Amino acid sequence: MIAFLRGIITEKKPDHAILDVSGVGYMVHIPVSTFYQLAGEGESQELYIHTHVREDQLALYGFASQQELDMFRALCSVRGFGPRLAVTVLSGMEPEMLIQCLVNGDAVRLSTIPGLGRKTAERLIYELKDKLPRYVEAMTGTAGEGPAAIPAAGFSEDLVSALVNLGYARNVAEKAVAMAVRETPDAGFESLLKRSLKIMITK
């Protein structure tokens, strides 16, 4: 079982990364929360790995922090949840906001994530609190913003495509991206993606 990888990023997308580890390319599925923290292509990166084996399928899921890996595994243990839906949840909101939703019992905000209805969100809150005690206890109710990305422009279509691939409707994604770009027209891809996701889950 692979538990950790350190290598050079040869490809970086919001839903996956390819790591060159001593000449072997590993495709690793990642949540958007990890994508925000990845180094650039051609640079070294370390990822915590969950190896998912099912019949004849083997898939690697990578995370920038132990917290994300813990939350992913806790999500996978919830009835009706698998790796894909767990990644969707971590892509729909940052770990700190997810913990805050658990603490506050905020099923409404959780249900804005694609694939989560109101009942599923309520079950998630009920089952997950006991599985992440140290993170729940450490929650102070505030979540910090990540570092600003290098200013760039022309990301709109790539942003919309990334959001559609995460399960959001195209028209909803387009409106959120347009609003994010209007607010911070000089922001980079990661920052604009983060803002677009935040706009959709706080509407």
> Crossing angle of helices 170-183/156-165, nearest 10°?
140
- Which domain-ending residue is among 17, 41, 63? 63
Q: Find the CATH number of the domain harbouring 89.
A: 1.10.150.20
- pLDDT surpasses 70 at 135: yes
* Nearby residues of 40 by Cβ (< 8 Å), 6 or more positions away: 9, 12
- pLDDT surpasses 90 at 133: no
Q: Are residues 71 and 132 in the same domain?
A: yes
Q: Are residues 101 and 126 in the same domain?
A: yes
Q: Are residues 47 and 70 in the same domain?
A: no
Q: In terms of DSSP H, where are the helices of 14-154? A: 32-35, 66-76, 83-92, 95-104, 107-110, 118-128, 133-138
Choice between 69 and 170, residue whose per-residue pLDDT is larger: 69
Q: How far apart are CA 36 and CA 23, in angstroms?
A: 25
**φ and ψ of 15, to 5 deg:** -110, -5
83-133-89 Cα angle (round to 5) = 30
Q: Are residues 18 and 50 in the same domain?
A: yes
**SS3 of residue 143 by DSSP:** coil
Q: Are residues 77 and 112 in the same domain?
A: yes
116-144-188 Cα angle (round to 5) = 80
**SS3 of residue 191 by DSSP:** helix
Residue 143 domain-assigned (yes or no): no
Mean pLDDT score, 150-161 = 61
Q: Are residues 70 and 20 in the same domain?
A: no
- Which domain-ending residue is among 110, 138, 166? 138
Q: Are residues 14 and 52 in the same domain?
A: yes
- Which domain-ending residue is among 63, 80, 106? 63
Q: Are residues 74 and 56 in the same domain?
A: no
Token pair in block for residue 74? 């806790």
**φ and ψ of 17, to 5 deg:** -140, 150
Sign of CA dihedral 202, 120, 174, 11: positive
Q: Are residues 70 and 87 in the same domain?
A: yes
What's the pLDDT at 154? 52
Q: Are residues 51 and 17 in the same domain?
A: yes
What's the pLDDT at 9? 97
Q: Find the CATH number of the domain harbouring 31.
A: 2.40.50.140
- Counting the structural domains of the chain, the total is 3
The 10s digit of each residue's pLDDT in 90-130 is 998 888 888 888 888 888 888 888 888 888 888 888 888 77
Q: Cβ–Cβ contacts within 10 Å for residue 112, how many?
A: 17
Residue 144 domain-assigned (yes or no): no
Residue 9 domain-assigned (yes or no): yes
Q: Find the CATH number of the domain harbouring 194.
A: 1.10.8
Q: Are residues 41 and 76 in the same domain?
A: no
Residue 146 domain-assigned (yes or no): no
| Structural domain of 87 | 66-138
Q: Position 43: which residue type?
A: E
- pLDDT surpasses 70 at 151: no
pTM of the model: 0.70
Q: Are residues 71 and 130 in the same domain?
A: yes
- pLDDT surpasses 80 at 146: no
